Amino acid sequence: MAELQRKNVLGEREKSILTKQAGVCSGTGMKCDTDSVSGSVSQRACVYCGARVVLNPITDAYHIIHGPIGCSSYTWDIRGSLTSGEDIYRNSFCTDLRETDVIFGGALKLESAIEELMSKNHPKLIFVYSTCIVGVIGDDVDAICRHMSEKYSIPMVPVKSPGFSGNKSTGYRMACDAIMQVISPYKTDKRTGGINILGDYNLAGEMWIIKNYLAKIGIPVVASFTGDASYDEMIKAPSASLNVVQCAGSSTYLANRMEEEFGIPYIKVSFFGIEDTASSLLRIAEALGNEEAREKGIRFCDKETGKIQDFLNMYRSNLEGKKAAIYVGGGFKAISLIRQFAFLGMKTVVVGTQTGKKDDYEIIESLVDEDTIILDDANPAELEAFMKEKEADILVGGVKERPLAYKLGIAFCDHNHERKHALAGFEGVINFTREINESMNSPVWSYIKECGL
Ligand code: SF4
């Protein structure tokens, strides 16, 4: 392994960073899906943030953060899910715990926060998040939610998410448990023939793009989790015939629970890139046994692919041969991005995820070239070392990776929840191609080199 890597990697992290050679990620090869190594300064967010990723887009839910005001800064403003209905989800409500509450307990403050919300608004659904300090002082949030829920006859769902109680994936699971608490009373044996979409958060309206495609090929959507979701829509979810999981990292656990408890099977899909968008639409139709939808899907995808060929050919010459580094949340997105870059003639030289699973890494390994660096739960020092070593031209990541790329003089593409333009579907292919071209081929990078910065 390269000298740079040895200098920048903690001993406990070595098994989470591999250089592609045949079979390196299989079996016990890649260490992943575990808590972060202490002192490694992981790029992952905390448990509470993981829970809010999943629950925040529910447009008519009230989110009470039981904790210090700082935790509640994690709001719609930095996520960007869009709504076609209510917009109360764009607010955060916080109990603003202070020192005295740490000493005497915060239960009364939480009760009065719920009372105040109930007196001034008419919530259908409230989520109450436990943050780090609540995990330390031990307020009985479950009991308060149960009591208040009985008093006001609406679901008030505790989300057990103290930041230190695991990693971001733990937060996803806590959020999925909260969703199950909301929808389980509506369990039914009736099947509508429609699907639920899991793990899409309607960033820049991507859920609408996907729903539009599905409508065109005749597949009804029962409920979405949780992009542009509402309480009334979510409780219909147990009647769906199939769950499709877009963000596998955040929602496979929910899909598994819905399969076990409601008998709804699921498939994993991705709507990033031409290849994955087309194959996902066809696999949904096949999984439903809907031959008519499959045939419509083939015609629709051929037509949409044909429409953007000239555009892609025009840009391909600017992009061919460039090298990409990918660091994203889940494995499925990384896999789609590797395919998208290959389609554009680019090579992925570094690829990592925050919450990828073993099977994700095995697929990643099968897609990349020899000597590609594959890493799980990276930190900035590792990303910096490998991007320099592999001379990446662009980094695709999220808000925490952006400054790192710019400080290194490397182009950046935001593929996380803060972005304001859709990257899913055929429309997304155009936006993505245009963005990586503009970022990588911007004159700013040569000015920086000329100035010796
Ligand atoms: S780590 Fe703890 S204190 Fe920080 S945002 Fe997460 S829950 Fe709040």
pLDDT for res 260: 98
- Residue 448 binned pLDDT confidence (cut-offs 50, 70, 90): confident
Q: Are 363 and 7 in contact (CB under 8 A)?
A: no
Beta-strand pair 126-130/156-159: parallel
Identify residue 66 by its one-letter amino acid code.
H
Which CATH superfamily does the domain covering 47-185 fall into?
Nitrogenase molybdenum iron protein domain (3.40.50.1980)
**What is the residue extent of each domain of the chain?**
3-31+320-419, 47-185, 187-298
- Residue 353 binned pLDDT confidence (cut-offs 50, 70, 90): very high
- Residue 8 binned pLDDT confidence (cut-offs 50, 70, 90): low
Centre of ligand 1 to C-alpha 162, Å, is: 7
- Residues contacting residue 403 through CB under 8 Å, at least 6 positions apart: none
Centre of ligand 1 to C-alpha 86, Å, is: 27
With tokens 């037509």, the residue in question is 303
pLDDT at 113 over 60: yes
pLDDT for res 6: 52
Best residue among 132, 136, 161, 167 to mutate for probing ligand 1, ranked by most atoms within 8 Å of CB: 132
Judge if the beta carbon of residue 269 lies within 6 A of ligand 1.
Answer: no
pLDDT at 73 over 90: no
Judge if the beta carbon of residue 163 lies within 6 A of ligand 1.
Answer: yes
CATH topology of domain 187-298: Rossmann fold (3.40.50)
pLDDT at 45 over 90: no
**pLDDT tens, position by position, 141-162:** 999 999 999 999 999 999 999 9
Return d(Cα 64, Cα 156) in angstroms, integer.
10
Centre of ligand 1 to C-alpha 2, Å, is: 36
pLDDT at 356 over 60: yes
Sheet holding 195-200, edge to edge: 221-226, 195-200, 242-245, 266-268
Centre of ligand 1 to C-alpha 120, Å, is: 28
Instruction: Give percent of the chain above pLDDT 90.
Output: 81
Q: Are 218 and 290 in contact (CB under 8 A)?
A: yes
Q: Residue of the nearest CA to atom 8 in ligand 1?
A: 71
**pLDDT tens, position by position, 317-327:** 999 999 999 99
Phi-psi bin for 410: left (phi > 0), alpha (psi -120 to 50), beta?
beta
Q: What is the mean pLDDT of residues 180-199?
A: 96
Check for a shared fold between 3-31+320-419 and 47-185.
Answer: yes
Judge if the beta carbon of residue 174 lies within 6 A of ligand 1.
Answer: no
**pLDDT tens, position by position, 261-293:** 999 999 999 999 999 999 999 999 999 999 999
Best residue among 49, 102, 168 to mutate for probing ligand 1, ranked by most atoms within 8 Å of CB: 49
Centre of ligand 1 to C-alpha 163, Å, is: 5
Judge if the beta carbon of residue 67 lies within 6 A of ligand 1.
Answer: yes
47-55 and 248-262 helices, crossing angle to 10°? 70
- Residues contacting residue 255 through CB under 8 Å, at least 6 positions apart: 198, 243, 245, 266
- Residues contacting residue 264 through CB under 8 Å, at least 6 positions apart: 196, 238, 240, 241, 242, 243, 258
Return d(Cα 336, Cα 364) in angstroms, integer.
10
Q: Residue of the nearest CA to atom 1 in ligand 1?
A: 163
Phi-psi bin for 62: left (phi > 0), alpha (psi -120 to 50), beta?
beta
Best residue among 36, 41, 42, 48 to mutate for probing ligand 1, ranked by most atoms within 8 Å of CB: 48
Centre of ligand 1 to C-alpha 165, Å, is: 10
Phi-psi bin for 244: left (phi > 0), alpha (psi -120 to 50), beta?
beta
Q: Are 304 and 368 in contact (CB under 8 A)?
A: no
Return d(Cα 317, Cα 390) in angstroms, integer.
21
Return d(Cα 172, Cα 267) in angstroms, integer.
18
Q: Are 284 and 217 in contact (CB under 8 A)?
A: no
pTM score above 0.85: yes
Q: Are 135 and 51 in contact (CB under 8 A)?
A: no
Q: Which atom of ligand 1 is nearest to the CA of 132?
A: 2
Rg (CA), the chain: 22
Tokens of 170: 């733990």
Judge if the beta carbon of residue 213 lies within 6 A of ligand 1.
Answer: no
- Residue 1 binned pLDDT confidence (cut-offs 50, 70, 90): very low
Element (H, E) at 200: strand 195-200
pLDDT for res 2: 46
Work out the mean pLDDT of the chain and round it to a whole number.
93
Tokens of 295: 């045939």
Q: Which among 336, 326, 182 has a CA at the least distance from the CA of 258?
A: 182
Tokens of 64: 């009470």
Judge if the beta carbon of residue 413 lies within 6 A of ligand 1.
Answer: no
Q: Please state which CATH number belongs to domain 3-31+320-419.
A: 3.40.50.1980
Best residue among 131, 141, 170 to mutate for probing ligand 1, ranked by most atoms within 8 Å of CB: 131
pLDDT for res 391: 95
DSSP letter assigned to residue 36: P
Q: Are 293 and 218 in contact (CB under 8 A)?
A: yes
Return d(Cα 113, Cα 102) in angstroms, integer.
17
- Greatest CA span in the chain, whole angstroms? 68
Judge if the beta carbon of residue 48 lies within 6 A of ligand 1.
Answer: yes
Q: What is the mean pLDDT of residues 288-306?
A: 97
Q: Residue of the nearest CA to atom 3 in ligand 1?
A: 132
Phi, psi for residue 414 in degrees, rounded to 5: -80, 115
Centre of ligand 1 to C-alpha 188, Å, is: 37
Q: How many residues does the chain have?
A: 453
Judge if the beta carbon of residue 356 lies within 6 A of ligand 1.
Answer: no
- In order of 41, 351, 434, the CA distances from 401 in angstroms are 13, 13, 20
Judge if the beta carbon of residue 134 lies within 6 A of ligand 1.
Answer: no
Tokens of 301: 């995808």
Judge if the beta carbon of residue 132 lies within 6 A of ligand 1.
Answer: yes
